[in-house]
Amino acid sequence: MSLRVTRRRRVTVRVLLMSELDLEFSASLTDDTGSFKLLELPPDLCKLIETAVENLRPLRLSIKGESGEDAVLCTDDATYTVRSVVLSNTILVVTPPPDSLGSVVIRDQVNEILELTPAVPKLHKISALLRGREYDDVHDSEDHPPLPEPGHLTYAAARATIQASDAEFAHGLRQQRILDIHGSLRPIAPSYLTTILETILNLLVSQSMAPRAVPVEDVAATLTDENEISRAVSMQAMAWFGEINNGVWTMDVESVLKEIGLGILRQHKDEPIAKDILLDKWRLAVGDTFEASVSLALLTGNYLVSPGTELLTYFPSSALPVDPASRFIDLFLTRPRWKADDIAPFLSDIAINTKDRDKLLLKYTRMTTDSQGVWYTKK
């Protein structure tokens, strides 16, 4: 291809196997400048768009980010960081004029492209927005709609604010145990959630209900009548810990037991608890029917073991900073060095996959090896 600029602000383009075309500068070039952006699609996103086009299926992409935040692009189930990359060559954006078949019009010039890279959804902001809004007292357990309170946050408003796809956002609400009560989002108090789950386990045993075939309405009605637990709360709690289909709840036994175990472990943030004592209390809390499924592995990423002992201290990864640099500072303030298996659980929520986690370790730590294995220390 060859270009020739003339004094009449016209460029001639000669393309192989094609007729000669004239490029004209748009009369609205000044207004158009900066109006066009080039977005480079990663293979998975490109395939998603192509499939949607081929199948005539609607596809929604959204850009999220408030002032001071890096923008992200979200599909229905994934989040991508948007990063500007400067080009070494200028790209012209051209369109055909309405009155000429032999010319094209220069509308803008592009000196950068927007690059998309998979990102961890920014779900940490939810807890900050809902601080002080915990749901736990007896008045909250009533089913009548309360009067709107200052600072209440709706599902729609939070979804528009949080930098995450719709699927990731919904998953984040489940993982952070956030209720939607009469249109307002409220995190449930951990102690109250533990009480609800223990009550449900006792009910299943007393009524001889199979964990994989629990009648939802019967459980919700009993919790309301006998324990003053709101139906709206119990229904959402059951959905967090399993699947509800056609009025039947398939309970995820491990996730229920994990939450009850965390309820015991949370009491030992400052004062360690012996491993055997924790397990005994945990088994007692879940009852004979479920005690065989109790395992310390369920609490991985939520505790530290004091060196040379079996004393456990509550140390949840969810309470650590989401910024990688700040997280590693906190980790190395807690311990000067970490075994690979010990540090990995505290990085899973800020890394997309193991490859991304290894990149973080390479960037922020120094690896050494001795007779005990691989250690990571501050870089």
pLDDT score at 85: 92
Sign of CA dihedral 263, 267, 272, 273: negative
| 194 within some domain | yes
pLDDT at 317 over 60: yes
190 in Cβ contact with 262 (< 8 Å): yes
Report how many domains make up the chain: 3
Give the pair of three-digit tokens for residue 58: 């609607």
Give the helix, strand, coil percentages of the chain, each rounded to 5: 40, 25, 35
pLDDT score at 136: 83
Contacts of 185 (CB under 8 A, 6+ apart): 126, 130, 133, 152, 153, 154, 155, 158, 173, 178, 179
How large is the average pLDDT for residues 133-156?
68
| 334 within some domain | yes
Are 21 and 65 contained in the same domain?
Answer: yes
Q: How confident is the model at residue 6 (pLDDT cuts 50, 70, 90)?
A: very low
| 259 within some domain | no
Q: How confident is the model at residue 144 (pLDDT cuts 50, 70, 90)?
A: very low
| Amino acid in position 319 | A
Are 71 and 178 contained in the same domain?
Answer: no
Examine the fold and report which residue of 227, 254, 281 is the final residue of a domain before the chain moves on.
Answer: 254
The average confidence (pLDDT) of the chain is 88
Euclidean distance between CA atoms 89 and 87, whole angstroms: 5
pTM over 0.75: yes
Contacts of 172 (CB under 8 A, 6+ apart): 121, 123, 126, 162, 164
**Structural domain boundaries, residue 58:** 2-118
| 272 within some domain | no
182 in Cβ contact with 143 (< 8 Å): no
Q: How confident is the model at residue 33 (pLDDT cuts 50, 70, 90)?
A: confident
How large is the average pLDDT for residues 58-64?
92
pLDDT score at 67: 84
Of 222, 203, 218, whose CA–CA distance to 287 is shortest?
A: 203
Are 25 and 98 contained in the same domain?
Answer: yes
Least confident of 83-97, 110-124, 174-188: 83-97
Q: For the segment 221-236, what is each residue's pLDDT rounded down to a tens digit?
A: 999 999 999 999 999 9
For residues 293 and 92, the model is more confident at 293
Give the pair of three-digit tokens for residue 13: 């383009």
pLDDT at 100 over 70: no
| 299 within some domain | no
